[in-house]
Amino acid sequence: MSAQIKVAVLGAAGRMGSEAVKAVTDAADMELVASLGRGDDLQQIIDAGATHIVDLSVPASTEQNVRFAIEHGLHAVVGTTGWSDERRAALEALLAEHPENGVLIAPNFALGSVLASAFAATAAKYFESVEIIELHHPNKVDAPSGTAVRTAELIAKSREAAGVAPSPDATETQLDGARGAEVDGIHVHSVRLRGLVAHQEVLLGGPGEQLTLRHDSYDRASFMPGVLLGLRTVASRPGLTYGLDGYLELGQ
Amino acid sequence: MSAQIKVAVLGAAGRMGSEAVKAVTDAADMELVASLGRGDDLQQIIDAGATHIVDLSVPASTEQNVRFAIEHGLHAVVGTTGWSDERRAALEALLAEHPENGVLIAPNFALGSVLASAFAATAAKYFESVEIIELHHPNKVDAPSGTAVRTAELIAKSREAAGVAPSPDATETQLDGARGAEVDGIHVHSVRLRGLVAHQEVLLGGPGEQLTLRHDSYDRASFMPGVLLGLRTVASRPGLTYGLDGYLELGQ
Amino acid sequence: MSAQIKVAVLGAAGRMGSEAVKAVTDAADMELVASLGRGDDLQQIIDAGATHIVDLSVPASTEQNVRFAIEHGLHAVVGTTGWSDERRAALEALLAEHPENGVLIAPNFALGSVLASAFAATAAKYFESVEIIELHHPNKVDAPSGTAVRTAELIAKSREAAGVAPSPDATETQLDGARGAEVDGIHVHSVRLRGLVAHQEVLLGGPGEQLTLRHDSYDRASFMPGVLLGLRTVASRPGLTYGLDGYLELGQ
Amino acid sequence: MSAQIKVAVLGAAGRMGSEAVKAVTDAADMELVASLGRGDDLQQIIDAGATHIVDLSVPASTEQNVRFAIEHGLHAVVGTTGWSDERRAALEALLAEHPENGVLIAPNFALGSVLASAFAATAAKYFESVEIIELHHPNKVDAPSGTAVRTAELIAKSREAAGVAPSPDATETQLDGARGAEVDGIHVHSVRLRGLVAHQEVLLGGPGEQLTLRHDSYDRASFMPGVLLGLRTVASRPGLTYGLDGYLELGQ
């Protein structure tokens, strides 16, 4: 098929990169034309005829990789961290000179997690109470998880914009820590348990009813449907999109 | 406050109606100006200076009530069943002559349930697998519940529009009924258990991840935030809106 | 039936007491012979031919009620609080003189809650990790709940007796409170949410697996099966039993 | 330590066997003295000084392996399937001649799963309603799962012994399959979802309350704590024990 997406994977030897190599290879509407690791010459991407890159390399090289892609007329889907405000501003300036090119930078490619956060922010306007429980393996060094903090921030922003009062709470005496941490006024509880991977529940309550949004992440494979969705969409979205939710149809 | 919503409740002696009387009375931005039961003269609504009606009466009188309200320049929020396609078409014709008036007819006022169904339809486009479990008290005579059937239909429609393949299923041998009922190709399981009220889970699965949307309904009180939201919104939405989701901001 | 259980309910006008009156009346193998409220003459119990009392009165009168029952050869099922160590010791001394009589004092009559706590203590010996999440309505003034504290204490005792190491936890940096409260080394998280009643989850984790024990309490009616079980069992258990778990067959 | 458990793993090249080799090697109180694959000479077990065998081979060789172990005074922990009633009877006859030797044959080594089944059978006596939901990956060919069928049988037996009535169910009209399969009168629902591994929920309901027992199995690693528990216990339990629950302290 002439319209096929020709993909070069950068950071192909890493854990995410090797999953992406597999996923692109298995996708019927894509062709894997190049796999680059650390130190490989970027010119290979052009020689192989790529139309898209997936950058899953390291913070030190991601900016150079993406600029190279844009300057050669390619679209880019980026999962590497390290995109500070400055880097993103510089990238947008470059994209202004290449108005046909699209770039997606996504801190999270798990569709279920991105959807759950978006749904939580939407629903939080309509309920009196909201709290977050995140559950992870016991080797995690920080609590709460970054995803839980971002979800709480989104929820708080959504409730503030809608003028919703803080969640009711009559607690007078508590054992230290019982009511969890507070992130922008939202209570967040962190469970650590052997056997778990990465899980999150947003609990919303109103008179006589409860809505629970739960996401379970078992495996790095969960990121690949999001990477493929990014590759299929990025050419039709010129400029920079930050966050996979920008590509999802969240209304009805 | 002059801009206050002046509400007449019709069907005020019923179970839903008496909850609505309480809820309207307690709402700071509303005034309950009339409560009508079976056989009461509708003229009372006008005499009391109502700007809105809430119709929670019976199928036999709801059409007459709503037409009366529109003809007198009032807005209407309607929870009574029995609005066939014919009735709704006739109502829309009447509303065409009263372009300032709004009517909301909602088969379900529980915000959590309406949101859960909408989220399920949105998310179902992005996952390989989806199934529904509904759980109710053991006195329920039908299975699956009406809400589960409607949720399955919404999901099936959303997946079909997006070109999503049927959920994978390698089952070769099954004990009769083990895989549940099928509604438009979506598997639905009905649990009946003493102690429960009305609960529903939509389970969505992709490689390495799961998204679960659960709604628990414990009490009729859960319908009142939706009724109040309807009353606060209906004046700004001329014409007929069918379903409370039409009033919710579901995108971001 | 001559062997029928003839029951006098004390504290019959209270919330629990009135439920008990209904439950005893509805039980085919029991007969409600007397219902006493505050200040009623205890002699009515004897005159009515009661064989058992259910005491759901107040701390100030429960001791006197139970002693009266024993001295007249009756069995007693007691849900009233206020049974200090001293009172229980005095009661056991009295029971030593009445070796045929049985008394059950139960701080919790909800079978599901009692079973969940017992199962949690049993299972906690076999898992690396254990944490508790309790969820209640937002009008509750203390956190964690008394049930969660008792469950944590039972779990800690069971793990200590079996020589199980503390749950693994690599947390280095946490937002204050994120990891919950600690009760005897067990992490306990308290969620407060409009719409909820009283709920508890014990989460147990080992390599590659998780066991979750969840109890939902929706209604005071949940105590009645435990009260009836107590009435049916107490005559065959002379002496004092503390805790409904003493009457449950927990092994196989 | 002289009292150390010296273990020979049979079927060491298989998926379970290789996990067992790792688990025994890592256990401080055990020594791996031999690892045998298909066709290896059983005499190696004796020459290596083993005191225990773990048999995770194939149905065709397990009986011979276990008989060899007993005849040489060793204890055996067996996870291989294929132990028919006849084979077990023959094994018990052999053990009668070797009264010091212990054998554990376990169809399931996941502690959480074994505990959940045992708890379900115990609790089912005390609740009006009980149903089972099992959830697996969509490549599973049979429904319900074997574990769900066995759990339902245990529950049915426990309820029958206690004289509990069937779960109430007022269903009059149902879409075919909605109420699930029936195993000995217990309703069982089978969910198949991409991303899942093996999960089971037993739901128990009474007036105003619910008890839920959920087991999640993510990984074959979950069997190893059960295998090690078997090895540590088998020498103190002469004769044949069938099922890991025989080694668990299930009461308090």
Which residue among B121, B206, B214 places its CB closest to the CB of A112? Answer: B206
Task: List strands edge to edge, sheet with D198-206.
Answer: C181-183, C186-192, C129-136, C198-206, C209-217, D209-217, D198-206, D129-136, D186-192, D181-183
Q: Is the dihedral of CA B126, B131, B137, B143 positive or negative?
A: positive
- Per-residue pLDDT band for C2 (boundaries 50, 70, 90) equals very low
Residue D23 tokens, joined:
């688990």
Residue C252 pLDDT more than 90?
no
What is the residue whose two structure tokens read 């053990």? Answer: D95
Q: Which residues of B are annotated as a binding site for (S)-2,3,4,5-tetrahydrodipicolinate?
A: 137, 146-147
Residue D3 pLDDT more than 80?
no
Q: Do A218 and D218 touch (CB under 8 A)?
A: yes
pLDDT tens, position by position, C65-79: 999 999 999 999 999
The CB density around residue B129, as the number of other CB atoms within 10 Å, is 23
What is the residue whose two structure tokens read 């690892």? Answer: D35
Nearest partner of A133 among A177, A82, A190, judged by Cα: A190
- Per-residue pLDDT band for C250 (boundaries 50, 70, 90) equals confident
* Mutation for D interface: C119, C151, C217, C220, most D CBs within 10 A: C119
Residue A161 tokens, joined:
């914009």
Residues in chain D with CB shorter than 8 Å from the CB of A197 are: 218
pLDDT tens, position by position, C6-50: 999 999 999 999 999 999 999 999 999 999 999 999 999 999 999
pLDDT at B219: 87
pLDDT tens, position by position, D22-75: 999 999 999 999 999 999 999 999 999 999 999 999 999 999 999 999 999 999
CA distance A222 to chain D (A): 8
Q: % helix / strand / coil in chain D, to the nearest 5?
A: 40, 25, 35
CA distance linking residue D151 with residue C140, whole number of Å: 37
Average pLDDT estimate for C144-148 = 95
The CB density around residue C108, as the number of other CB atoms within 10 Å, is 18
Q: Is A15 assigned to a binding site?
A: yes
Query: Annotated catalytic residue: which of B75, B136, B189, B215?
Result: B136
CA distance C87 to chain A (A): 28
Average pLDDT, chain C: 95
- The residue of chain C nearest to residue B217, with distances taken between CA atoms, is C195
Q: What is the complex's ipTM, to 2 decimals?
A: 0.90
Query: Annotated catalytic residue: which of A75, A136, A189, A199?
Result: A136
pLDDT tens, position by position, C210-225: 999 999 999 888 999 9
- The residue of chain A nearest to residue B224, with distances taken between CA atoms, is A207
Peptide bond into A168 cis (omega under 30): no
Q: Which residues of B are annotated as a binding site for NAD(+)?
A: 11-16, 79-81, 106-109
pLDDT at C162: 95
Q: Do B195 and D210 touch (CB under 8 A)?
A: yes
Crossing angle for the helix pair B111-123 and A111-123, to the nearest 10 degrees: 150
Q: Is C85 helix (H, G, I), strand (E, B) or coil?
A: helix
Length in residues, chain A: 252
Q: Is residue A136 among the annotated active site residues?
A: yes
Reading chain B (252 residues) residue by residue, the pLDDT tens digits are: 445 899 999 999 999 999 999 999 999 999 999 999 999 999 999 999 999 999 999 999 999 999 999 999 999 999 999 999 999 999 999 999 999 999 999 989 999 999 999 999 999 999 999 999 999 999 999 999 999 999 999 999 999 999 999 999 999 999 999 999 999 999 999 999 999 999 999 999 999 999 999 999 998 889 999 999 999 999 999 999 999 999 998 864
Crossing angle for the helix pair D15-26 and D224-233, to the nearest 10 degrees: 60
- Per-residue pLDDT band for C1 (boundaries 50, 70, 90) equals very low
Spacing of C-alpha A176 from chain mean position: 33
Can you spell out the DSSP letters for C209-250? EEEEEEEEE--GGGGHHHHHHHHHHGGGS-EEEESGGGGS--
CA distance linking residue D238 with residue D247, whole number of Å: 12
Nearest partner of A204 among A186, A192, A190, A191, judged by Cα: A186
Which residue among C112, C208, C251 places its CB closest to the CB of D210? Answer: C112
pLDDT at D2: 44
Burial class of B214 by CB neighbour count within 10 A (0 to 12, 13 to 18, 19+): buried
Positions in chain A whose pLDDT score sits under 50: 1-2, 252
Residues in chain A with CB shorter than 8 Å from the CB of C195 are: 128-129, 205-210
Chain A contact for C180, CB < 8 A? yes
Q: Do D110 and C251 touch (CB under 8 A)?
A: no
Nearest partner of A8 among A32, A29, A28, A27, judged by Cα: A32
Residues in chain B with CB shorter than 8 Å from the CB of D173 are: 141-143
pLDDT at B173: 95
Residue D82 tokens, joined:
């294929």
CA distance linking residue C122 with residue C86, whole number of Å: 29
pLDDT at A219: 87
Q: Please check whether residue D23 is in contact with residue D56, taking contact to mean a CB–CB distance below 8 angstroms.
A: no
pLDDT at D248: 94
- Give all domains of chain A, ordered by start, each with its CATH number: 5-105+221-247 (3.40.50.720), 111-168+178-218 (3.30.360.10)
Peptide bond into A138 cis (omega under 30): no
Q: Is A173 assigned to a binding site?
A: no
CA distance D150 to chain C (A): 15
Q: Do D126 and C224 touch (CB under 8 A)?
A: no
DSSP tag of A94 = H
- Per-residue pLDDT band for D230 (boundaries 50, 70, 90) equals very high
pLDDT tens, position by position, C116-135: 999 999 999 999 999 999 99
DSSP tag of B26 = H
Nearest partner of D152 among D197, D179, D206, D189, judged by Cα: D189
- H/E element holding D71? helix D59-71
The alpha-helical segments, DSSP class H, found in chain C are 15-26, 43-47, 59-71, 85-96, 111-123, 146-162, 224-233
pLDDT at B95: 98
pLDDT at C3: 59
Residue C60 tokens, joined:
């100030």
Can you spell out the DSSP letters for B65-84? HHHHHHHTT-EEEE--S---
Query: Annotated catalytic residue: which of A6, A72, A125, A140?
Result: A140
CA distance linking residue D52 with residue D63, whole number of Å: 15
CA distance linking residue B154 with residue B150, whole number of Å: 6
Q: Is C69 assigned to a binding site?
A: no
CA distance A20 to chain D (A): 18
Which residue among D141, D179, D196 places its CB closest to the CB of B177? Answer: D179
Which residue among B191, B194, B207 places its CB closest to the CB of D189? Answer: B191
Q: Please check whether residue B222 is in contact with residue B167, taking contact to mean a CB–CB distance below 8 angstroms.
A: no
Which residue among B130, B138, B172 places its CB closest to the CB of D169? Answer: B138
Burial class of B93 by CB neighbour count within 10 A (0 to 12, 13 to 18, 19+): exposed
Bridge pairing between strands D102-105 and D75-78: parallel
Residues in chain D with CB shorter than 8 Å from the CB of A199 are: none
